[in-house]
């Protein structure tokens, strides 16, 4: 076994490096753990794409260091996200999930990269394509899927659905396009007010980027120097409208005008991470808000009711999948630098698949919320009250 | 003029409001306080009491408030707690809601509620619904306050009453004070409430002085949200009203009393949740109901009250159909004579009472 792995890793090491990755030999031959695996490279440095800058002196570094542990963790999270979204697709087609379902597959590097650049004690808010962020912010696959299927074990007890999932320091999941941006700045205001050196990451899409309230928010965030990282996830299409047809200026990272901005390769988790680190440093040093545009892509249509091919070509989708898939990119990097083995990654895939299957099983078998819960959670910290039912004789009970 | 009359109507002797406490034998001292000062006191006390409370809105800081409601607060509490915003309602209302999500207790002032329409999505979709959508994970302790309804000569775009609009939505509490005590006690309650409260003031009431009891002057004086107040007892007809129209009801009641008609006047204080029980109890005594509001008739506050009475136990006690006295169903005109005839006058209330009682 050991011999076979050594042979394989030798072969992989010998193959041409991808993306100009270089191997830093820092005792690379030393066995890192007590596992029976062959020696793995504990960390490697990779070249990452240069970011376009707007009113910024310096961008993120052009190289990123990735440790084996980090790599495995990013891989696992992105794979979990990917499989979770694909399972949601399946369940939706089986009509077990209903209503709106906006899938995130293709954009995994954004959510994972951002989380890698901030702390869990920081805050984050996004729009409706939110399943990935619910995961990175501490939600479990089980409770996310059960929320999609509308069961009592869902993260919002089945009352929110796809677009309204919340965890600690994660403010959803918001259905109204653009409304989350002022909310995020408000969270940042609270961070500054309470003086805990926390910041708020405030996400929106290329479609939302034209919303007036976002410009109102840029103004106030800048005036009051709020610790807010505005992030535009530009997946090139706002529903079915391409960016060229929606925006007079598609340089979303410049739209903040007086707010410094950078345009980032959103398919590369390391690029996203380094940019986020820079942005976080900017905010925490009291300089005020900063804007990041992540260039990314969604494989699915806008939502489950959109096949996603009437306004773009299948070729385009296929091209991105084969050339820029975020998970493949990370996998190739790790394998070609002997940071993990094919088996190891396969094992992670198997574990992830099992986790998703279990979650789907739970999500399809958990009972729906009890009818008693219908009127609860109207008010917080209030005595129980009566709510009118559908007719005057029906009085329903509501508790906080 | 109306203010003087209404002040006298409160049934207490103005002179005996002992303004100087010299002898230990004098009764507890009530003082004259305008609605404006009462609101100011409420905010001042709550800002002092809880570090997380802050005020934001247009002109609230250095201008001392467009209507001087926040006079002196910026000088006392500074830039961190009293924040002047640009003229961007949707943006700053959203920021206020976000701040509430993250642990602060904002008071978001709309210069008038007409401008809240620009931000109404944040009030309804971000504030009102979130606690429910999150199944209890995310409360929003916020107060949206400002003047509501008709003023004087400000014409159509600045005169709309939003009581019905906001009261339509579950997840909001909607409060509409009348007197200085109402204003102080209810605003303090609203600020202490862990839920979104829409606090509808009235510009024409700001300068009106009311007697404020010693109890009401205390820093812990609060009035519970959701309970109406009986302002005047009577046997013949129940008048239900909110905000400035309560003054008119009391004035009409005084005139009718001379003719032997005793009106029971209920000051709603809170529009949502509606204190239907107080109204029902009164109807069971008087057998007649008239609602009085400044807003438009269709789908209004009065419409809701009448529907509830129809559906409830008090219906059987009505000796005549319940009716509504409302603003005229038109955008507010500018010319004084037109404006005066666009909102209920005392004579309209008197007329409606007599029609209802068939006298």
Nearest CA in chain A to B80: A193
Give, in degrees to the nearest 5, the angle at Cα A184 between B197 and A199: 125
Instruction: Please determine, for residue A78, whether its predicted confidence score (pLDDT) is greater than 80.
Output: yes
- Indicate the burial class of A8 (C-beta count within 10 angstroms; 0-12, 13-18, 19 or more): middle
Nearest CA in chain B to A217: B91
In this prediction, residue A24 has a pLDDT band, given cuts at 50, 70 and 90, of very low
Asked if A220 lies within 8 A of B170 by C-beta distance, the reply is no
In this prediction, residue A39 has a pLDDT band, given cuts at 50, 70 and 90, of confident
Query: Which chain A residues are within 8 Å of B96, Cβ to Cβ?
Result: 186
Q: Which residues of B are catalytic?
A: 89, 158
Is A229:A202 a contact under the CB 8 Å cutoff? yes
pLDDT at A22: 42
pLDDT at B24: 56
Instruction: Please determine, for residue A21, whether its predicted confidence score (pLDDT) is greater than 50.
Output: no
**Alpha-carbon distances of A75 from A327, A353, A375, rounded to whole Å:** 7, 13, 41
User: Is the minimum CB–CB distance between B103 and chain A shorter than 8 Å?
Assistant: yes
User: Is the minimum CB–CB distance between A223 and chain B shorter than 8 Å?
Assistant: yes
pLDDT at A5: 54
- Indicate the burial class of A161 (C-beta count within 10 angstroms; 0-12, 13-18, 19 or more): buried
Instruction: Please determine, for residue A34, whether its predicted confidence score (pLDDT) is greater than 50.
Output: no
Q: Which residues contact B231 (CB under 8 A, 6 or more apart)?
A: B246, B249, B250, B265, B266, B267
Which residues, in sequence order, are bridge partners of residue B53?
B105
Asked if B133 lies within 8 A of A164 by C-beta distance, the reply is yes
B194 vs chain A: nearest CA distance in angstroms?
A: 6
Nearest CA in chain B to A153: B135
CATH architecture of B229-357: 3-Layer(aba) Sandwich (3.40)
Asked if A183 lies within 8 A of B101 by C-beta distance, the reply is yes
Is B90:A182 a contact under the CB 8 Å cutoff? yes
* Of residues A28 and B317, more confidently modeled: B317
DSSP states along B281-329: HHHHHH--EEEE-SS-STT-HHHHHHHHHHHSGGGGG-SS--EEE---S
Q: Region B194-212: what's the mean pLDDT?
A: 98
pLDDT at A115: 98
> Strands A63-67 and A123-125: what pairing?
unpaired
Convert the pLDDT of each residue in B30-68 to its tens digit.
899 999 999 999 999 999 999 999 999 999 999 999 999
Convert the pLDDT of each residue in A133-143 to its tens digit.
999 999 999 99
Pick among B77, B89, B102 to test the A interface (most A CBs inside 10 A): B102
Nearest CA in chain B to A218: B91
CB pairs under 8 A between A and B: 152
Give, in degrees to the nearest 5, the angle at Cα B296 between B290 and B297: 50
User: Is the minimum CB–CB distance between A390 and chain B shorter than 8 Å?
Assistant: no
Asked if B97 lies within 8 A of A166 by C-beta distance, the reply is no
Convert the pLDDT of each residue in A276-331 to its tens digit.
999 999 999 999 999 999 999 999 999 999 999 999 999 999 999 999 999 999 99
Partner residue facing B138 (CB), from A166, A223, A382: A166
Where does chain A show beta strands of DSSP type E? Answer: 43-47, 52-54, 63-67, 123-125, 200-205, 228-234, 237-238, 241-242, 261-265, 290-295, 385-388, 395-398
Asked if A216 lies within 8 A of B54 by C-beta distance, the reply is no
pLDDT at A23: 43
- Its ipTM equals 0.91
User: Is the minimum CB–CB distance between B337 and chain A shorter than 8 Å?
Assistant: no
In this prediction, residue A8 has a pLDDT band, given cuts at 50, 70 and 90, of low
- Indicate the burial class of B327 (C-beta count within 10 angstroms; 0-12, 13-18, 19 or more): buried
User: Is the minimum CB–CB distance between B316 and chain A shorter than 8 Å?
Assistant: no
Pick among A126, A127, A168, A190 to test the B interface (most B CBs inside 10 A): A190
What residues of chain A, 10 to 39, have a C-beta less than 8 Å from chain B?
none
Query: Which chain A residues are within 8 Å of B135, Cβ to Cβ?
Result: 156-160, 376-377
Which residues, in sequence order, are bridge partners of residue A52?
A263
User: Is the minimum CB–CB distance between B319 and chain A shorter than 8 Å?
Assistant: no
Question: In this structure, what are the phi and psi dihedrals at residue B345, rounded to the nearest 5 degrees?
Answer: -110, 170
Mean pLDDT of chain B: 94
Instruction: Please determine, for residue B266, whether its predicted confidence score (pLDDT) is greater than 90.
Output: yes
Query: Which chain B residues are within 8 Å of A188, Cβ to Cβ?
Result: 98
Mean pLDDT of chain A: 93
Nearest CA in chain B to A219: B86
Convert the pLDDT of each residue in A162-206 to its tens digit.
999 999 999 999 999 999 999 999 999 999 999 999 999 999 999
CATH architecture of B33-217: 3-Layer(aba) Sandwich (3.40)
User: Is the minimum CB–CB distance between A177 and chain B shorter than 8 Å?
Assistant: no
Distance CA B308, CA B315 (A): 9
Instruction: Please determine, for residue B27, whether its predicted confidence score (pLDDT) is greater than 80.
Output: no
Is A292:A201 a contact under the CB 8 Å cutoff? no
- Indicate the burial class of B3 (C-beta count within 10 angstroms; 0-12, 13-18, 19 or more): middle
Nearest CA in chain A to B137: A166
Is B109:B56 a contact under the CB 8 Å cutoff? yes
Convert the pLDDT of each residue in B105-163 to its tens digit.
999 999 999 999 999 999 999 999 999 999 999 999 999 999 999 999 999 999 999 99
pLDDT at A29: 42
pLDDT at B7: 46
Question: In this structure, what are the phi and psi dihedrals at residue B271, rounded to the nearest 5 degrees?
Answer: -90, -40
Query: Which chain B residues are within 8 Å of A223, Cβ to Cβ?
Result: 86
Convert the pLDDT of each residue in B60-102 to its tens digit.
999 999 999 999 999 999 999 999 999 999 999 999 999 999 9
Distance CA A274, CA A270 (A): 6
Is B254:B346 a contact under the CB 8 Å cutoff? no
User: Is the minimum CB–CB distance between B225 and chain A shorter than 8 Å?
Assistant: no
Asked if A183 lies within 8 A of B100 by C-beta distance, the reply is no
Query: Which chain B residues are within 8 Å of A164, Cβ to Cβ?
Result: 133-134
Instruction: Please determine, for residue B252, whether its predicted confidence score (pLDDT) is greater than 70.
Output: yes
Is CATH 3.40.50.970 the right assignment for the domain spanning A43-369?
A: yes
Instruction: Please determine, for residue A30, whether its predicted confidence score (pLDDT) is greater than 70.
Output: no
Q: Region A202-221: what's the mean pLDDT?
A: 98
Asked if A382 lies within 8 A of B195 by C-beta distance, the reply is yes
Query: Which chain B residues are within 8 Å of A219, Cβ to Cβ?
Result: 86, 88, 91
Distance CA B232, CA B266 (A): 7
Q: Where are the domains of chain B?
A: 33-217, 229-357
Q: Where are the domains of chain A?
A: 43-369, 371-399
pLDDT at A2: 55
Asked if B171 lies within 8 A of A378 by C-beta distance, the reply is yes
Q: Considering all CA atoms of chain A, what is the largest pairwise distance in Å, rounded to the nearest integer?
A: 78
């Amino acid at each position: 076994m050991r011999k076979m792995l050594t042979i394989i890793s030798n072969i992989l090491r010998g193959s041409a490096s991808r993306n100009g990755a270089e191997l830093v030999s820092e005792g690379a031959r030393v066995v890192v753990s007590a596992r029976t695996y062959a020696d793995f490279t504990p960390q490697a440095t990779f070249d990452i794409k240069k970011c376009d800058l707007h009113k910024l002196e310096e961008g993120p570094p052009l190289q990123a260091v990735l440790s084996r542990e980090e790599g495995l963790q990013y891989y696992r999270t992105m794979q979990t996200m990917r499989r979770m979204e694909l399972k949601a697709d399946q369940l939706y087609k089986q009509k077990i999930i209903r209503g709106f379902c906006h899938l995130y597959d293709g954009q995994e590097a954004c959510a994972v990269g951002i989380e890698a650049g901030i702390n869990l004690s920081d805050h984050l808010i996004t729009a409706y394509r939110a399943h990935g962020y619910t995961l990175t912010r501490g939600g479990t696959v089980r409770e996310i899927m059960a929320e999609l299927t509308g069961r009592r074990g869902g993260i919002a007890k089945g009352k929110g659905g796809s677009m309204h999932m919340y965890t600690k320091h994660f403010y959803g999941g918001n259905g109204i396009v653009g409304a989350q941006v002022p909310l995020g700045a408000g969270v940042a205001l609270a961070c500054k007010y309470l003086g805990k050196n926390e910041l708020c990451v405030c996400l929106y899409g290329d479609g939302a980027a034209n919303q007036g309230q976002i410009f109102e928010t840029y103004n106030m965030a800048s005036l009051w120097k709020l610790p807010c990282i505005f992030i535009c996830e530009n997946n090139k299409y706002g529903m079915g409208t391409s960016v060229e047809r929606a925006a007079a200026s598609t340089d979303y990272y410049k739209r903040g005008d007086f707010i410094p901005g950078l345009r980032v390769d959103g398919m590369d988790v390391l690029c996203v991470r380094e940019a986020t680190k820079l942005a976080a440093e900017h905010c925490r040093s009291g300089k005020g808000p900063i804007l990041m545009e992540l260039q990314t892509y969604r494989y699915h249509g806008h939502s489950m009711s959109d096949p996603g091919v009437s306004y773009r070509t299948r070729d385009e989708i296929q091209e991105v999948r084969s050339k820029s898939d975020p998970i493949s990119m990370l996998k190739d990097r790790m394998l070609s630098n002997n940071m993990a083995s094919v088996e190891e990654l396969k094992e992670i895939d198997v574990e992830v698949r099992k986790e998703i299957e279990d979650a789907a099983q739970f999500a399809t078998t958990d009972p729906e919320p009890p009818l008693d819960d219908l009127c609860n959670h109207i008010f917080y910290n209030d005595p129980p009250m009566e709510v009118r039912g559908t007719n005057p004789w029906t009085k329903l009970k509501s508790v906080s | 003029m109306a203010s003087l009359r209404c002040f006298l109507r409160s049934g207490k002797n103005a002179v005996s409001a002992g303004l100087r406490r010299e002898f230990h034998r004098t009764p507890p001292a009530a003082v004259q306080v305008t609605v404006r000062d009462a609101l100011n006191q409420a905010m001042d006390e709550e800002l002092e009491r809880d570090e997380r409370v802050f005020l934001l809105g247009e002109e609230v800081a250095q201008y001392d408030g467009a209507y001087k409601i926040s006079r002196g607060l910026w000088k006392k509490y500074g830039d961190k707690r009293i924040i002047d915003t640009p003229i961007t309602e949707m943006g700053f209302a959203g920021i206020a809601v976000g701040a509430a999500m993250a642990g602060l207790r904002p008071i978001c002032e709309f210069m008038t509620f007409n401008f809240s329409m620009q931000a109404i999505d944040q009030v309804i979709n971000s504030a009102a619904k979130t606690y429910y959508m999150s199944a209890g994970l995310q409360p929003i302790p916020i107060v949206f306050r400002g003047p509501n309804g008709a003023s004087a000569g400000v014409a159509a775009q600045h005169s709309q009453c939003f009581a019905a609009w906001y009261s339509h939505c579950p997840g909001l509490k909607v409060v509409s004070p009348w007197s200085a005590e109402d204003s102080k006690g209810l605003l303090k309650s609203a600020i202490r409430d862990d839920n979104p409260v829409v606090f509808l003031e009235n510009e024409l009431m700001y300068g009106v002085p009311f007697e404020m009891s010693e109890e009401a002057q205390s820093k812990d004086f609060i009035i519970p949200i959701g309970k109406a107040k009986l302002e005047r007892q009577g046997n013949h007809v129940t008048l239900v009203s909110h905000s400035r129209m309560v003054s008119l009801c009391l004035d009409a009641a005084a005139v009718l009393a001379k003719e032997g008609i005793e009106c029971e006047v209920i000051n709603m204080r809170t529009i949502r949740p509606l204190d239907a029980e107080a109204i029902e109890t009164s109807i069971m005594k008087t057998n007649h109901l008239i609602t009085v509001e400044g807003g438009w008739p269709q789908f209004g506050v009065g419409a809701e009250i009448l529907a509830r009475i129809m559906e409830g136990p008090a219906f059987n006690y009505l000796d005549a159909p319940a009716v509504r006295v409302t603003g005229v169903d038109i955008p507010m005109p500018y010319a004084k004579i037109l404006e005066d005839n666009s909102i209920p006058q005392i004579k309209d209330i008197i007329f409606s009472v007599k029609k209802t009682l068939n006298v």
